[in-house]
Amino acid sequence: MLRNALSKASLGRSVSGRLASASGRHAPGGSKRLASQLVEPKQPEVVTDEIPGPQSKAALSRLGLLQDTRAVVFAGDYQKSVGNYIVDADGNYLLDLHCQIASIPVGYNNAALLKAAQSPEMASTLANRPALGMYPSKDWGSTLEQAYMRVKPKGLDMVFTTAHGSDANELAYKAAFMYYAKTRRGGTEGFSAQEMSSVMDNVPPGAPDVAILSFTAGFHGRTFGALSTTRSKAIHKLDIPAFRWPRAPFPQLRYPLDKYSEENAAEESRCLAETERILHDNPMPIAAIVIEPVQSEGGDRHASPRFFQELRSITKQHDVLMIVDEVQTGCGATGTFWAHEQWALETPPDMVTFSKKMQTAGFYHTREMVPDQPYRNFNTWLGDPSRALMTRAIVDEVLERKLVEQARDTGAYLKSHLEPLAIRYFRVFNSVRGEGTFLAFDCTSAELRTELLHLMRMEGVNMGGSGDVAVRFRPMLTLTKAHVNVFITRFESVLNKLYQKHWPR
Amino acid sequence: MLRNALSKASLGRSVSGRLASASGRHAPGGSKRLASQLVEPKQPEVVTDEIPGPQSKAALSRLGLLQDTRAVVFAGDYQKSVGNYIVDADGNYLLDLHCQIASIPVGYNNAALLKAAQSPEMASTLANRPALGMYPSKDWGSTLEQAYMRVKPKGLDMVFTTAHGSDANELAYKAAFMYYAKTRRGGTEGFSAQEMSSVMDNVPPGAPDVAILSFTAGFHGRTFGALSTTRSKAIHKLDIPAFRWPRAPFPQLRYPLDKYSEENAAEESRCLAETERILHDNPMPIAAIVIEPVQSEGGDRHASPRFFQELRSITKQHDVLMIVDEVQTGCGATGTFWAHEQWALETPPDMVTFSKKMQTAGFYHTREMVPDQPYRNFNTWLGDPSRALMTRAIVDEVLERKLVEQARDTGAYLKSHLEPLAIRYFRVFNSVRGEGTFLAFDCTSAELRTELLHLMRMEGVNMGGSGDVAVRFRPMLTLTKAHVNVFITRFESVLNKLYQKHWPR
């Protein structure tokens, strides 16, 4: 029984009101209310003694016969979820700061998104899924312009669309390998007979030993090429063959930054020097580096703009491409549409990959990254135009409602509240960090993190971890200061509970 | 000027009628007619002197600024496409036997699919995309049952959903590698310290040297793991690093089968013996084999049920898993829902992968293929529930309208017409083969194939090639004998033109 009188009282609603919502009659509006007319509750509401509750458990026991459900937190009720609140199968209303692993951009049942979902154009793309590389719709160019090109990273004028973050990275790696081979061949894709035959046996020179350099604790996906660059956790990689590609150290900064500025600068210099050494000495040649602006799955690890600026210089000096993986950081949460904008690079990255909040995946690139011959970087669907229409609606919302700016402001407000709490409750957490609402802190142990995430969920706030001990904030761009206030109240309550339990006076 | 009086006359419509259709007023119904009320034309209609025509070209020149369009055949008008007919941006109505690279199952603007696309449930899954492994909708189990389990291959009771055929195969490979390592470890996923540390460096024992065995001319996708098993064409693989996985020979059968039965049996035995030798001798241990029931992209290469039965025995004897790649063959076109049903195996394959006509991807498997620990075979989205709702509608259509049976009948009718033509026009094509409508023939040269496909398109029939010289039939399951008659008339006309040009009397 984790719920207590305090949290019940703080709900500001009667028990009967909560039961009403659990049975589908959440105020305002009856059960027949259209999803687009739902209204966000003022605060979370937890009506079961545990999460997952009985209805979630019933749904999962059925699902468990067909799929692995061991990572499931609860079963969602997406007809009722609204704005920043996710509703589960038992009618619990949780302020969602995890957002489907950082992939909900503008709120559940967003009216503009529902409108896009119900358009005749959407019905057509759902019923008539084209092979976009062979028979694109006559409108596909226009969709690309509106969905992707309005927010393109500076200097990258083309976009390769695909299904998810992992294959977005792999397609970028393939482009890098083809570019690398072409330049080494003197700017030609005229293949030798030996290349043509050896490649069918998966051996050089046709299938060359060339590498993508990634960074300690980086995460770039789970398909075989992407997984070879993922370095966050052993459990993702064990028993799976991997390319013998190298890894460079990523800075391990200390917080607060102003206190450790010298140490952190030295740490970044050490990592840059080691990266340079690997680019110079690695026995397998390196075609590209891949790096996240914030290592997300690996524990919300940051580096300074200076680090990335110097890294860009190093890639230029060593003639390797730079791929920036913005799968999790892209689409505004860091306070700029793309996180790498904050580095103010002199020359843009060669490729920028995206997915998650964009709801479709792909990579931006220059024309140089297009192979001389067709069908080399290709697949049947090249993404999904239905999801691209959702991307277009999302980009509309983000730009029209100035949600990137909102994330910047709301994030600063949230951070300003977290920092003093980190001092007051130092036995529980520290190292508050990040930009915009793309924030995180470290718990003092993995066990405490588990306890904290559980207590927060029972207080009505759904959060996720990253790395070994970090808690990451991955709210929607629609988060407001009012939501932050709701969060802080509950967070303080949980911190007090943890102190009472572990460090009673 | 490829169009001639004969083909114009055969259209059975006035010039003004064709112009009317080009401007969007295709009979029956005006431009305001709902997509679900479109009616198939009786026959193709080509109104431009070339394909792509001027409107397609205009659309592509705009699109070409943003994406590689060199493989594009024409720009589609999917608001007007109907049933077995694809309409292009210029208003050409083409009988579609290519179907978005074999991925349209039940016709353009199918009324049942449009209805599913316009449901409130669909709008919810589009606007609220869940991370299915963490926060599935409470209805996800029910969707899985209706979309996938009603047509599950015998013996495989679970389904892992994902985005496309390439990652469906990779997820199956990962499951195979984890299963392999677990059994070699004595049935445990208790990892050694050496495994835990070595895997972060991408080296054994944590990242072991283990292989998937694939077959000459097989195609399994283009991400790095799948591409290492793809052996169809060098152009797909050149310059891309590959795992040093082996390949076994796939039978090269001769046609007609009854004439070459002894030779073909010997060829299959040779391939089986060589496969067995590789499983025994390969320096890198082999966790699984992957094979297509019909090698599709590789040139529509077939083998007999006996070959696959013996292959299954061999995998059992050598304790390796058997993955059947039904990405292109699945969903009914071969005359059974899954092509491998025709082998009548004593023990089912360990995994069956799917995509294309299913409109979502994934693999069917037994509970044994689920790792002991969560998060090992995992990703953020695990496919797309919006597309799964389309899969459900497709499966409804296929079962209710008995479309698998229709494909079997229509295919037999088509084959019975192709076989005598192959004798009469032997200078152009031979080796008619296949089951259901999943048919193909070989042209006598690559140049003749190019010419034939072009002429067919100008006659109003859109077809695709596979391998070096094959033409593949990949119609929808809704193809009828009337469509076959339309095709045969145009095919004979093209064959006559080719004879008149190349072998005039």
- Are A377 and A423 part of one and the same domain? no
* Residues of B whose CB is below 8 A from A174: 222, 240
B11: its two tokens:
């259209």
Residue of B380, B402, B426, B501 marked active site: B380
What pLDDT does A16 receive? 34
Nearest to A100 among B108, B135, B236 (CB): B135
Mutation choice for B interface testing from A73, A148, A202 by most B CBs within 10 A: A202
Give the pLDDT band of residue B505 (cuts 50, 70, 90).
confident
pLDDT at site B33: 57
Residue B242 lies in a domain: yes
CATH number reported for the structural domain that contains residue B223 in this entry: 3.40.640.10
pLDDT reported for residue A37: 81
Return the closest-CA partner of residue A144 out of B69, B105, B359, B49: B69
Helix H, strand E, coil C: the string for B138-187 is CCHHHHHHHHCHHHCCCCCCEEEEECCHHHHHHHHHHHHHHHHHHHHCCC
Nearest chain A residue to B140, by CA:
A63
Counted domains in chain A: 3
CB-nearest partner of B138 from A55, A137, A164: A55
* Residue B425 distance to chain A (closest CA, Å): 30
Q: How far is CA B54 from CA A111, A133, B59, B278, in A?
A: 38, 19, 9, 54
Q: Are residues B75 and B86 in the same domain?
A: yes
Q: Give residue-wise pLDDT tens across range B246-256.
A: 999 999 999 99
pLDDT of residue B74: 98
Q: Average model confidence (pLDDT) for chain B?
A: 93
Q: What is the pLDDT of residues B99-150, one digit of tens each?
A: 999 999 999 999 999 999 999 999 999 999 999 999 999 999 999 999 999 9
- In chain A, residues with a C-beta closer than 8 Å to the C-beta of B202 are 228, 237, 242-245
- Tell me the average pLDDT across B167-175: 98
In a domain, B124, yes or no: yes
Give the pLDDT confidence score for residue A505 in this predicted structure: 82
Q: How far apart, in whole angstroms, are the C-alpha atoms of residue A105 and residue A357?
A: 5
User: Measured between CA atoms, how close is B63 to chain A, in angstroms?
Assistant: 4
Q: Is residue A304 part of a domain?
A: yes
CB A146 within 8 A of CB B84: no
Q: Cβ of A160 and B67 within 8 Å?
A: yes
Contact flag B77-A137 (C-beta cutoff 8 Å): yes
The boundaries of the domain holding residue A456 are 402-505
Of A117, A207, A376, the CB nearest to B242: A207
**Which three-class secondary structure state does DSSP give residue B124?**
helix
Instruction: Residue B89: count other Cβ atoms within 10 Å of its Cβ.
Output: 25
Within a domain: B496: yes
Task: Check A141 against B240: CB less than 8 A apart.
Answer: no
Asked whether residue B458 falls in the same domain as residue B372, the answer is no
What whole-number distance in Å separates Cα of residue A201 and Cα of residue A198?
5
Residues in chain A, pLDDT under 70: 1-34, 36
User: Do A301 and A384 reside in the same domain of the chain?
Assistant: yes
**Average of per-residue pLDDT across B221-246:** 98
Which pLDDT value is given to residue B15? 33
Any domain includes A444? yes
Catalytic choice (B219, B363, B429, B438): B219
Q: Do A224 and B222 touch (CB under 8 A)?
A: no
Cis peptide leading into residue A475 (ω within 30°) = no
Picking from A74, A135, A240, the nearest residue to B177 by CB comes out as A240
Radius of gyration of chain A (CA): 24
User: Cα(B129)–Cα(B114) distance, rounded to whole angstroms?
Assistant: 20
- In chain A, residues with a C-beta closer than 8 Å to the C-beta of B66 are 141, 144-145, 148-149, 157-159
Q: Which of B124, B144, B209 sits opposite A241 (nearest CB)?
A: B209
Q: At what angle do helices A385-400 and B385-400 cross, to 10 degrees?
A: 150
Beta carbons of A242 and B202 less than 8 Å apart: yes
Number of H helices, E strands in chain B: 16, 14
CB–CB contact B113 A126 (8 Å): yes
Report the residue from A71, A114, A241 with minimal CB separation from B208: A241
Identify whether residues A406 and A389 lie together within a single domain. no
Alpha helices, DSSP H, located in B240-297:
261-281
Look at residue A101 and give its three-state secondary structure: helix
Query: What string of H, E and C letters represents the secondary structure of B198-215?
Result: HHHHCCCCCCCCCEEEEE
Does B59 contact A138 at a Cβ distance shorter than 8 Å? yes
CB pairs under 8 A between A and B: 405
Active site residue B380: yes
Instruction: Flag if B103 and A129 touch (Cβ within 8 Å).
Output: yes
State which of A94, A128, A154 marks the end of a domain: A94
Q: Rounded to an integer, what is the distance from CA A351 to the centroid of its chain?
A: 17
The residue out of A365, A400, A435 marking a domain boundary is A400
- Shared domain check, A345 and A280: yes
B-chain residues within 8 Å CB-CB of A385? none
A105 is a domain residue: no
CB-side exposure of B195: number of CA atoms within 13 Å? 17
Pair (B377, B422) in one structural domain: no
In the residue annotation, B481 being an active-site residue is answered as no
Residue of A nearest to B112 (CA): A127
Shared domain check, B135 and B102? no
Residues B406 and B312 in one domain: no
Residues of A in Cβ contact (< 8 Å) with B370:
68
A201 to B247: CB separation less than 8 angstroms, yes or no: yes
Where a domain ends, among B380, B400, B420? B400
Mutate to test the interface with B, among A67, A157, A184, A197 (most CBs of B within 10 A): A67
Mean pLDDT of B439-453: 98
Share of chain A above pLDDT 70, in %: 93
A243 and B202 in contact by Cβ < 8 A? yes
Q: Say yes or no for a CB contact (<8 Å) between B178 and A240.
A: yes
Give B28 or B492, the one with higher predicted confidence: B492
Domain CATH code at residue A477: 3.90.1150.10
Strand-pair partners of A95 = A85, A461
* pLDDT > 70? residue B354: yes
A282 and A144 share one domain: yes
Give the relative orientation of helices A481-502 and A403-424 as an angle to the nearest 10 degrees. 20
Would you name the residues of A annotated as active-site residues? Answer: 219, 325, 356, 380
CB contact under 8 A, B35 and A199: no
Mean pLDDT of chain A: 93
Q: Is residue A266 part of a domain?
A: yes
* Residue in chain A nearest B59 by alpha carbon: A138
Indicate whether A386 and A489 sit together in one domain: no
What's the gap in Å between the CA of A443 and the closest CA on chain B?
22
B24 has a pLDDT exceeding 70: no
Q: Rounded distance, CA A41 to CA A456, Å?
A: 18
Q: Does residue B115 lie in a domain region?
A: no
Question: pLDDT tens digits, residue range B225-234?
Answer: 999 999 999 9
**Chain A neighbors of B101, CB-CB under 8 A:** 131, 134, 380
Instruction: Check if the beta carbon of residue A160 is closer than 8 Å to that of residue A363.
Output: yes
Residues A136 and A272 placed together within one structural domain of the fold? yes
Q: Residue B32 pLDDT > 70, yes or no?
A: no
B71 and A378: CB-CB below 8 Å? yes
